[in-house]
Structure 1
């Protein structure tokens, strides 16, 4: 087991380096650079040159990359060009807020999707299957920002039942009840956004399992449809779900950017959107690299979970 994990980690290192090069190169190819946000037509050439020297933009591209990579390897993502604050500290303060929104939403969506996916797969082409599939189609078609604004208009503005912005009420002592009130609307948006793909994934896995021999054997022994579905098919459907759980890791950081921005949730989303709008390249590169690295880490976690859960994989190793 340890050898397998070490092997996968060693395979991931070159990929992370390649991704860092791609992220850095894409930013360099942008039509504008960070200096454009800091200079004015009234500045002299000497002043502009001093800004270039201060932020290292006078160095060759490869030197800039290695300086940036050196800082990242030491745990320092650099400083924001706009706010001059530490990017690492900004991310540390914002990531918990994003996780507190995305993680519960994804878990809720996952549990609901497993149940609905199993029911849909077990009732192929029947009324309940068509209803669930229709919900999935609507969920995929509805833009998250539009759904968020509808909820804000109805429950925040018209009915005044729920707070519109932030994750806590300004001037009040933080409490679980206050957090839950702020969580309901953005959490609902994310649950609806996550569910369609998960439901269809579970449904597809369920259809594959229902055609297996062990289901026929259970029917022959007199097992009910519910017993077959939730005691036997359910266990085998969970294995491919492991892949989805691993791949969901990057969503903990970047999976709610639009929703966070609409609801003013103080997470990574508004931070990244503001950086894009203001051409704050160090922040953009940091978030891109972080999310890309989490994709690789998610794949690694999925492989390890497969290795632990499925004995057939152990035999092949």
Structure 2
């Protein structure tokens, strides 16, 4: 077990290294000149060239990447082009708000998607299975920003029962209850696609495990349906369901950008959106890198949890 943990952790290092290369190259492919953006359209060509030299943009890409990576490893993401403040000071406070939204969305998609998939799998070809399968197909195809707008219109504007935007009531902040109330709509909008995916995968896993020989063996010996389901079906389905749930973290953090913009949730996604409109490349680069690193680390944790709870995986080491 310890050997696996050490090996799996070291395997994460080249993955993170590859992620940093991809993020750096993607930012270089964005059209536009960050130096020209900083100085404005009235700047002379001499001033542009001088600032480009001062910032190291005149050097080869691999040299720029090495300098950038060394600074990132020290916690220095550079300075915002638009606001002229350290990028870390802009993004780190927002990251906590995005984590809150991600946790809320994960609770929604795990509870609703997991329970729906389990019931649909156990009640294959029932009316519930047909309805949930149709809902999952629609939910998996639904754009996050459109759903966010529809939820806002129906629950906030038409019914007036949920807050329109923000994390707290600005006139009278109500602490955690107020936060949870503001969290409902963004979490549902962000989690809808992942909920549908988890429901479909869970249903397939449950049906597949029910057809295993050992499950039929215990059924033939008169083991009650409830005991057989809880001990053998659900227990063996937990590992693949956990894997697919972990993979949804990355999608949820990406989808949070749209929800945060629509609901004015002050998170990482909203800050990245503002940076995109302002062509603030250091902020865009650091924000994407934070999301990618979080996705890799979460999946590392999922693998470790799977190893801890699954005897078959431990025995295979």
Shared fold (TM-score, shorter chain, > 0.5) = yes
| Contact map agreement 1:77 1:86 (CA 8 A) in 2 | yes
Q: Report the equivalent of 2:114.
A: 114
Shift of 1:144: 1.7
Shift of 1:228: 2.9
Q: Deviations over 1:255-312 (max 9, x none)?
A: 4111111100000111111222222111122122222223332332232222212222
CA distance in 1, matches of 2:312, 2:104: 32
2:218 is the alignment partner of 1:218: yes
CA distance in 1, matches of 2:298, 2:27: 25
RMSD: 2.1
Q: Deviations over 1:201-260 (max 9, x none)?
A: 111110111011232233234344344333431111101122124334445643411111
Tell me the SS of whatever aligns to 2:39: coil
Shift of 1:190: 2.6
Shift of 1:124: 2.0
| Contact map agreement 2:36 2:48 (CA 8 A) in 1 | no
2:246 is the alignment partner of 1:246: yes
CA distance in 2, matches of 1:230, 1:213: 16
CA distance in 2, matches of 1:119, 1:65: 50
CA distance in 1, matches of 2:245, 2:121: 20
Tell me the SS of whatever aligns to 1:240: helix
Q: Deviations over 1:31-69 (max 9, x none)?
A: 323123223342222322343244332333222211110
CA 1:306–1:180 in 2, change beyond 3 Å: closer, same or farther?
closer
Q: Report the equivalent of 1:145.
A: 145
Q: Report the equivalent of 2:175.
A: 175
The worse-fitting range, judged by mean Cα deviation, of 230-239 and 213-222 is: 213-222
Q: Report the equivalent of 2:264.
A: 264
2:7 is the alignment partner of 1:12: no
Q: Which runs of 5+ in 2 are unaligned?
A: none
Tell me the SS of whatever aligns to 1:38: helix
CA distance in 2, matches of 1:145, 1:257: 9
Q: Report the equivalent of 1:45.
A: 45
Q: Report the equivalent of 2:91.
A: 91
CA distance in 2, matches of 1:301, 1:275: 30
Q: Report the equivalent of 1:299.
A: 299
CA distance in 2, matches of 1:272, 1:101: 16
Q: Report the equivalent of 1:288.
A: 288
The worse-fitting range, judged by mean Cα deviation, of 35-44 and 87-96 is: 35-44
Shift of 1:12: 2.1
| Contact map agreement 1:106 1:190 (CA 8 A) in 2 | no
Shift of 1:195: 0.9
Shift of 1:6: 1.9
| Contact map agreement 1:210 1:233 (CA 8 A) in 2 | yes
| Contact map agreement 2:194 2:252 (CA 8 A) in 1 | no
2:145 is the alignment partner of 1:130: no
Tell me the SS of whatever aligns to 1:256: helix
CA distance in 2, matches of 1:41, 1:219: 76
The worse-fitting range, judged by mean Cα deviation, of 68-77 and 20-29 is: 20-29
What is the correspondence of 1:23-42 to structure 2 with a 5 Å cutoff?
23-42=23-42
| Contact map agreement 1:205 1:237 (CA 8 A) in 2 | yes
